[in-house]
Amino acid sequence: MRFSRKIPIASLILSMLVLWQPTLADSNSGFGKNPEEKTPSIWHKNKCAGGLSQSFRLDGELNNPTTYNLQKLKNLRNTLKNQNPALVTEITVSFQTGSGLRTETYYGIPLWELINNPQAGGGLKPGNSGVNTKNSFLRQYVLVDATDCYGAVVAIGEIQPNFEGKTVLVAFEKKGTDGKVVSLTDEGFARLVVPGDKAGGRYVSNVRNIVVLSAPPSPLKPKHF
């Protein structure tokens, strides 16, 4: 008798599970066999398709975040040159690539001016100063990334005139083989140029974002020795 009474209960449980299966499948539909169709959001917005860049976003810890295309960069270069005719906008560099040593002459805007000039980025905003606020801008850095998500970092201390003072360039033209100045073509409309680097790893081409950020506080607890 006890055995026969359990059969209807077991059948009822099985029936409930069968009825629930579509509901469970629907609730997880975004993570099914083809997550590319229904998964969120943020990954698709930020995924990297690659290809030639047509503009880049200047953003982060800046007073004047904005977007630049080729014409806007040319106009800014002319404005900065009118302000300061001695401004360096041409650099000849040599750097190692996968196919050997490469020497190029690039034309553009110094990264420091792009960040700090009132006509451009408008200057640094205070970032994460950590525990000790002295020279907090030395904790800041510039992340430059490309359309294929390749990226490199330049520390603010590298380009700050009172520290290393390196003229890192955001280039949009170069000297062609015939000596004439030409726009960048196979490198996107703009690329990063870092004189002094022996290898070209930070010569990011197809620039899509230039973002000023701060290093986080140290995860290590202070120790007394």
Q: What is the pTM of this model?
A: 0.75
User: Look-up: residue for tokens 């950590």?
Assistant: 130
Q: Which of 211, 171, 212 is nearest to 191 (CA)?
A: 171
- Amino acid type, 77: R
**With 0-12 CB in 10 A as exposed, 13-18 as middle and 19+ as buried, what is 104?**
middle
Could you tell me the CA-to-CA distances from 65 to 60, 169, 193, 209, 225 in Å, in that order? 7, 18, 21, 11, 44
What is the pLDDT, as a whole number, of residue 29?
35
What is the pLDDT, as a whole number, of residue 45?
58
Those residues whose C-beta lies under 8 Å from the C-beta of residue 151, and which sit 6 or more positions away, are 143, 144, 145, 204
What is the pLDDT, as a whole number, of residue 150?
94
What is the pLDDT, as a whole number, of residue 8?
54
What is the pLDDT, as a whole number, of residue 3?
45
Could you tell me the CA-to-CA distances from 209 to 41, 55, 175, 202, 212 in Å, in that order? 20, 9, 24, 14, 10
What is the pLDDT, as a whole number, of residue 136?
83
- Whole-number Å distance between alpha carbons of 119 and 121: 7
- pLDDT in single tens digits along all 225 residues of the chain: 444 454 454 454 444 444 444 333 333 333 334 444 444 444 455 678 888 999 999 999 999 999 999 999 999 999 999 999 999 999 999 999 888 999 999 999 999 999 999 999 999 998 777 667 788 888 999 999 999 999 999 999 999 999 999 999 999 999 998 889 999 988 899 999 999 999 999 999 999 999 999 988 777 766 655
- Whole-number Å distance between alpha carbons of 187 and 73: 16
What is the pLDDT, as a whole number, of residue 27?
36
- Find residue 209's DSSP bridge partners: 57, 145
Q: Which CATH architecture has domain 50-214?
A: Alpha-Beta Complex (3.90)
What is the pLDDT, as a whole number, of residue 224?
55
**Domain residue ranges in the chain:** 2-45, 50-214
What is the pLDDT, as a whole number, of residue 36?
43
